[in-house]
């Protein structure tokens, strides 16, 4: 981002590369910082973007809302590639935001006195530039020349690790906010940095950052894959879940809706059952605490308050199911008397008055009926015991 000194009210933010779950937070931070300065005009250049995730689209929508509230003119240079352009079209952002033509040269005129110079082609959210670590290049060559038994080699190694620690911390912060403590992520990133320092071969001609960044990022990803799951899940299913989640994002942009498991399966070339298995496994990534607060309108409750309890009547199911066919064998008057006595809780006198017989007769019918049911239940139990 470069702001022309003659008109600091015009700001251009150039975004290059993929804006996925890893870099969308960086986009949000950049836009938030620029909008906090309340510029007159903010141009977001997406012409060199190759992928726009769902989170990045949400960031753009929030930026549009903030800009409208504070009176900033927000303009957009649409992506040149079809996939991110289609994502903007599906969400309607190409209509909600004012789209301006792409820059034709090194600078673009905006009015009589304003010139916005295109930002250098560095992907948003990338790590510190090579120049920041230029003083460490000579140490890499020196470290490669020294034999492992020399004390100087250990000193050079320590100097290299300490010199690149800001890089490791920067990459660790990109993975923050996903349920793992930042201190743990920094330790994992440092381990990846140590591995990169030990394995780097400067004679190959590549820069250390191009080797260290994938190494550290891979170490962080493996940490989330192997230690971030609250439930033990086979590695095969973990890898499959990552592929399903990536395909889900791509298909959501292409279809404009959440894809069905069968569509994800066709995209990945795997059976639908495997996709469903991976989606179920993804629900086990993070478990909820019983003390987690849940909001219901004006009231709140913990997770523990809404979890079902053991039904005390469960043990009666077998008896009721065994009793059901026996009740069907009773005469209608006997069933009526049982229902009035044990379900409606009427007294024998009330039953006698309602049925039209004497109380003694009601007592005799109840005694005979209960004896019949008890004997049949006992015989049924004995029969099942013999088998």
Per-residue burial over 23-54, b if 16 or more Cβ lie within 10 Å, else e, is bbbbbbebbeebbeeebebbbbbbbbbebbbb
Residue 14 inside a domain? The answer is yes
Q: Strand, helix or coil at 13?
A: strand
Q: Are residues 110 and 176 in the same domain?
A: no
Q: Do 135 and 220 reside in the same domain of the chain?
A: yes
| Within-domain flag for 190 | yes
Under 8 Å between Cβ of 65 and 28:
no
Q: Are residues 222 and 141 in the same domain?
A: yes
137 & 111 share domain: no
> Same structural domain for residues 56 and 92?
yes
Domain end marker among 93, 117, 141: 117
Q: How many CB atoms lie within 10 A of CB 168?
A: 26
Domain boundary pick from 180, 212, 227: 227
Residues 143 and 222 in one domain: yes
Q: Are residues 106 and 146 in the same domain?
A: no
Q: How far is CA 9 from the centre of its chain?
A: 37
Find how far residue 223's CA is from the centre of its chain. 16
Domain boundary among 83, 117, 151: 117
Please report which helix (H) or strand (E) contains residue 296, including its range.
strand 293-296
Residue 264 CB neighbours (<10 A): 25
* Predicted TM-score (pTM) above 0.75: no
CATH number of the CATH domain containing 347: 1.10.10.10
Using CA atoms, how far apart are residues 377 and 325, in angstroms rounded to an integer? Answer: 11
Q: Is residue 384 part of a domain?
A: no
221/227 Cα distance (integer angstroms): 10
Using alpha carbons only, give the angle 66, 67, 70 rounded to the nearest 5 degrees: 85
pLDDT tens-place values along the chain, 387 residues long: 333 333 556 788 888 777 766 677 778 777 877 887 778 888 888 888 877 777 777 788 788 888 888 888 888 888 887 777 777 776 667 676 777 766 544 344 333 333 333 333 344 444 444 457 788 888 888 888 888 888 888 888 998 999 999 989 988 888 877 667 888 899 999 999 999 999 998 888 778 888 888 899 889 888 877 776 667 778 788 788 878 888 888 888 888 888 899 999 998 999 999 999 888 887 776 666 777 676 655 666 777 777 777 777 787 888 888 888 888 889 999 999 999 998 888 999 999 999 899 999 999 999 999 999 888 888 877 776 565
If asked whether residues 89 and 170 sit together in one domain, one would say no
By residue range, what is the domain housing residue 357?
324-379
In a domain, 296, yes or no: no
Q: Which two tokens stand for residue 90?
A: 């599906």
Query: 115 pairs with which residues across the strands?
Result: 109
Pairing of strands 73-77, 41-52: parallel
DSSP assignment string, 69-137: HHT-EEEEE--SSHHHHHHHHHHTHHHHSEE-PPP-SSEEE-SSS-EEEPPPS--TTPPPPGGGGGGGH
- Does 260 map to a domain? no
Residues 87 and 42 in one domain: yes
Residue 265 lies in a domain: no
Q: Which residues contact 331 (CB under 8 A, 6 or more apart)?
A: none
What is the rounded CA–CA span in Å between residue 121 and residue 12?
A: 13
Residues 111 and 142 in one domain: no
Residue 308 lies in a domain: no
Is 315 within a domain?
no
| Residue 34: per-residue pLDDT | 80
Confidence at residue 131, expressed as pLDDT on a 0 to 100 scale: 56
218 and 148 co-located in one domain: yes
Which CATH number fits the domain that encloses residue 179? 1.20.120.1810
Partner residues linked to 44 by β-bridges: 13, 76
C-alpha distances in Å from residue 246, one per residue of 21, 241, 256:
10, 9, 15
pLDDT of residue 148: 85
With contact defined as beta carbons under 8 Å apart, do 38 and 66 qualify?
no
CATH of the domain at 113: 3.30.750.24
16 and 108 share a domain? yes
Q: How many domains does the chain have?
A: 3
Q: Based on the number of CB atoms within 10 Å of its own CB, is 159 exposed (0-12), middle (13-18) or buried (19 or more)?
A: middle
């Amino acid at each position: 981002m470069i702001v022309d000194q003659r008109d600091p009210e015009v700001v251009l933010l150039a975004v290059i590369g993929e804006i996925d779950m890893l870099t969308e937070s960086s986009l949000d931070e950049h836009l938030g910082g620029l909008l906090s300065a309340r510029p007159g005009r903010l141009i977001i250049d997406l012409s060199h973007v190759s992928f726009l995730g769902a989170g990045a689209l949400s960031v753009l929508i929030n930026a549009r809302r903030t800009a409208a509230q504070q009176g900033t003119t927000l303009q957009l240079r649409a992506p040149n590639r079809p996939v991110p352009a289609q994502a903007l079209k599906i969400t309607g952002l190409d209509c909600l935001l004012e789209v301006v033509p792409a820059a034709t040269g090194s600078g673009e005129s905006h009015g009589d006195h304003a010139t916005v110079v295109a930002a250098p082609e560095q992907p948003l959210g990338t790590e510190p530039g090579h120049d920041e670590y230029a003083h460490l290049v000579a140490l890499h060559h020196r470290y490669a020349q020294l034999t492992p038994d020399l004390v100087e080699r250990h000193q050079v190694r320590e100097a290299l690790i300490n010199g690149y620690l800001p890089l490791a911390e920067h990459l660790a912060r990109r993975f923050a906010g996903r349920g793992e403590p930042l201190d743990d992520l920094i330790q994992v990133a440092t381990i990846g940095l140590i591995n990169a320092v030990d394995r780097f071969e400067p004679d190959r001609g590549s820069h250390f950052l191009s080797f260290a960044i994938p190494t550290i990022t891979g170490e962080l990803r493996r940490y989330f894959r192997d230690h971030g799951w609250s439930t033990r899940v086979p590695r095969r299913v973990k890898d499959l879940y990552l592929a399903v989640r990536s395909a889900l994002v791509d298909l959501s942009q292409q279809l404009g809706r959440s894809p069905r498991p069968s569509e994800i399966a066709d995209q990945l070339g795997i059976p639908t059952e495997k996709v469903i298995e991976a989606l179920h496994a993804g629900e086990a990534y993070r478990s909820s605490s019983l003390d987690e607060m849940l909001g219901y309108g004006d009231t709140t409750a913990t997770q523990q308050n809404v979890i079902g309890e053991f039904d005390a009547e469960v043990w009666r199911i077998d008896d009721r199911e065994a009793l059901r066919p026996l009740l069907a064998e009773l005469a209608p008057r006997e069933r009526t008397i049982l229902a009035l006595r044990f379900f409606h809780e009427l007294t024998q006198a009330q039953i006698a008055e309602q049925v039209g017989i004497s109380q003694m007769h009601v007592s005799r019918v109840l005694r005979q009926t209960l004896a019949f049911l008890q004997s049949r239940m006992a015989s049924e139990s004995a029969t099942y015991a013999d088998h």
